[in-house]
């Protein structure tokens, strides 16, 4: 029983190191060919971690009625057009509550040149606690107009 609690606390610590896409908001309209900001948040945690890298990609959704929700579309394994790849160094901002944000980093990227429904994908790799690897992918749908 003791090992169950150890495992559960380890899993909770790993998920606490996860990221969130702070901007743009899901279903935002982004102008084709324009620059836009991707904010990647990493909520605070008491567990030590070392950020390794992130990849920000964007991919066109299938031209079906279901779009990005098409069950045959493998959204997790298709980064698409890579907009950024490299270090991730989230920092606190200087604002005070209620505007205070979690540690985050902003990336300015350029929207591809085709309108339609696209999904933004952020892949995150970090080392948690005593050398455990955390790899995760967060996605959200955007409308390129």
For residues 37-56, give the mean pLDDT: 88
User: What pLDDT is recorded for position 69?
Assistant: 75
Q: Select from 134, 135, 126, 124 the least CA-distant residue to 40.
A: 124
Give 7 or 55, the one with higher predicted confidence: 55
- Of the CATH numbers 2.60.40.2550, 2.40.160.10, 3.40.30.10, 3.40.640.10, which one belongs to the domain with range 2-144? 2.60.40.2550
Task: List, in order, residues 6 or more apart from 8 with CB less than 8 Å away.
Answer: none
Q: State the pLDDT confidence band at 13, using cuts at 50, 70 and 90.
A: very low
Give 2 or 27, the one with higher predicted confidence: 27
User: What pLDDT is recorded for position 58?
Assistant: 95
Q: What is the pLDDT of residues 97-128, one digit of tens each?
A: 666 788 999 999 999 989 999 999 999 999 98
The full set of domain ranges for the chain reads 2-144
Helix extents (H) in the chain: 2-16
Task: Give residue for tokens 């279901």.
Answer: 66
């Amino acid at each position: 029983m003791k090992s169950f609690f150890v495992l559960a606390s380890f899993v909770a610590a790993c998920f606490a190191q996860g990221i969130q896409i702070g901007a743009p908001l899901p279903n935002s309209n982004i102008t084709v060919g324009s620059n836009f900001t991707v904010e990647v948040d990493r909520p605070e945690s008491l567990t030590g971690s070392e950020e390794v890298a992130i990849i920000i990609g964007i991919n066109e959704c299938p031209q079906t009625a279901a779009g990005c929700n098409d069950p045959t579309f493998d959204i997790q394994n298709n980064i698409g057009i890579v907009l950024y790849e490299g270090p991730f160094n989230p920092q606190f901002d200087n604002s005070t509550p209620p505007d205070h944000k979690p540690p985050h980093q902003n990336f300015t990227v350029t929207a591809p040149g085709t309108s339609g429904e696209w999904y933004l994908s952020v892949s995150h790799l970090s080392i948690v606690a005593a050398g455990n690897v955390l790899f995760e992918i967060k996605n959200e749908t955007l409308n390129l107009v």
